[in-house]
Amino acid sequence: MRKIDAHIRSSVLNAILAVLLVLAMLDFVIALLNQLDNLRSTYTFTDALYYVTASAPTRLYEMIPMITLIGCLAGLGGLATHSELTAIRAAGVSTHRIMFSTLKAASLMMALSLIMGEYIVPDLERMATNFRTISLGREVAVSNEGKGHWHREGNNYMRFSAIEPNGVLHGLTVYEFDEDNNLKNLTHAKRALYQREQWSMEQVINTKVDPFNTTVTKSATGIFETELTPERLKFVAQEPKDMAISTLYSYGEYLDEQGLGGGEFKLAFWKKILQPVSTIALVLVGISFIFGPLRSVTMGQRLFSGILVGLIYKIAVDLLGPIGLLIGIGPLFANLIPIILCFIWGGWMLRKSS
């Protein structure tokens, strides 16, 4: 029995790794082609190659459930094609035992998703995004693509084109409003450095807004007064989906306390926490396919079915999350809905086929 378990695990795991390698190569080529339009003197092909390589783990992390689903379909499908699955069941191995062996192989991908979401993706994505932004020279107050990072302190709204983890801000713009929400001052600096526990701005343009007399002054340096530190800026500089799991929920609570709305961060937290569970749900659907409608079809049809189901699941998760926040059902339940539906669907199909 142990040899049968090992054979199922190795077949499924090898298929998952093969799918991972193929999708990684396709993703790399597509991402690199997308960067070719941005090439210029400050952003060369080598820079684009570096950016695509550094940001690859982030893109692969989001595809882990789909990769696992397709790998399980390919692995178990290969056993079914060569009648090995039939022989295994004829030897007295139950469907639940085969499912358990498959899940043990898929558990490696579940562990990988948690490790990547906590330790690998956040730092690499922040580094890659800042490198690309700085190389492209997006240091204006408002870029054409609407990129940048925003932060609020009281009545002050701040925008940064790029944030380096060592305490360097690029394209800093501060909008100061009075108690009646009227813009009273606008400050722009090409760069700001964190030195001796304060921010020192370079190439500063200050615009004092007055209904009767607006004045503009320029200076080589200036002091940027804020409670932000390089450590706190790590949160400002990243999208919720790129942040570490351990910091997402607490930062969402902090934003709620400030009245800034932390629902998006809590949604990303539960999505990352539940990603291993969603992987199990998709694997269950994949197994039910092998013992049900995809028992005797070609490998191409199995792979196509896996890609289709994976895409539908991803679209459902991406849509239900924001919709859940809008209608007030909460980020946890919004993430659980597609998982529960997959468990119900997969369990029903397995029961029907057994």
Tokens 């009245």 sit at which residue?
259
For residue 228, the model assigns a pLDDT of 81
pLDDT at residue 139 is higher than 50: no
Question: DSSP letter string over 6-74?
Answer: HHHHHHHHHHHHHHHHHHHHHHHHHHHHHHGGG--SSS-HHHHHHHHHHHHHHHHHHTHHHHHHHHHHH
pLDDT, tens digit (0-9, with 9 covering 90-100), for 193-234: 998 888 999 999 999 988 778 899 999 999 998 878 887 777
Q: Does 154 fall in a domain? A: yes
For the ranges 98-112, 140-154, 242-256, 290-304, the maximum mean pLDDT occurs at 98-112
**Hey, which bits of 196-229 come out as E strands?**
198-208, 215-224
pLDDT at residue 3 is higher than 50: yes
The DSSP 8-state label assigned to residue 146 in this structure reads -
Query: Residue 201: which CATH number?
Result: 2.60.450
Give the whole-angstrom CA distance, residue 160 versus residue 172: 5
Give the whole-angstrom CA distance, residue 151 versus residue 173: 11
Q: Does 182 fall in a domain? A: yes
pLDDT, tens digit (0-9, with 9 covering 90-100), for 79-91: 888 888 888 888 8
Q: Does 203 fall in a domain? A: yes
pLDDT at residue 315 is higher than 80: yes
Token pair listed for 329 = 């059902």
Q: Does 45 fall in a domain? A: no
Of 129-143, 169-183, 248-262, minimum mean pLDDT range: 129-143
Q: Does 205 fall in a domain? A: yes
Give the whole-angstrom CA distance, residue 84 versus residue 76: 9
Q: Does 201 fall in a domain? A: yes
- What is the pLDDT confidence band of residue 165, given thresholds at 50, 70 and 90? low
Mean pLDDT, range 145-158, rounded to an integer: 76
Mean pLDDT, range 88-109, rounded to an integer: 87
Give the whole-angstrom CA distance, residue 20 versus residue 6: 21
Q: Does 177 fall in a domain? A: yes
Single-letter code of the amino acid located at 115: I
Q: Does 231 fall in a domain? A: yes
Domain total in the chain? 1
Instruction: List phi, psi (to 5°) of 129.
Output: -65, -45
- What is the pLDDT confidence band of residue 154, given thresholds at 50, 70 and 90? confident
Mean pLDDT, range 311-331, rounded to an integer: 86
Residue 172's DSSP bridge partners are: 160, 189
For residue 42, the model assigns a pLDDT of 84
Q: Which domain holds residue 236?
A: 149-247
Q: What is the pTM of this model?
A: 0.77
- What is the pLDDT confidence band of residue 146, given thresholds at 50, 70 and 90? very low
For residue 207, the model assigns a pLDDT of 93
- What is the pLDDT confidence band of residue 323, given thresholds at 50, 70 and 90? confident
- What is the pLDDT confidence band of residue 137, given thresholds at 50, 70 and 90? low
pLDDT, tens digit (0-9, with 9 covering 90-100), for 49-95: 999 999 999 999 989 999 999 999 999 988 888 888 888 888 888 88
Give the whole-angstrom CA distance, residue 5 versus residue 74: 17
pLDDT at residue 138 is higher than 60: no
pLDDT at residue 13 is higher than 80: yes
For the ranges 98-112, 221-235, 246-260, the maximum mean pLDDT occurs at 98-112
Listed residue (70, 65, 104, 20) closest to 299, CA to CA: 70
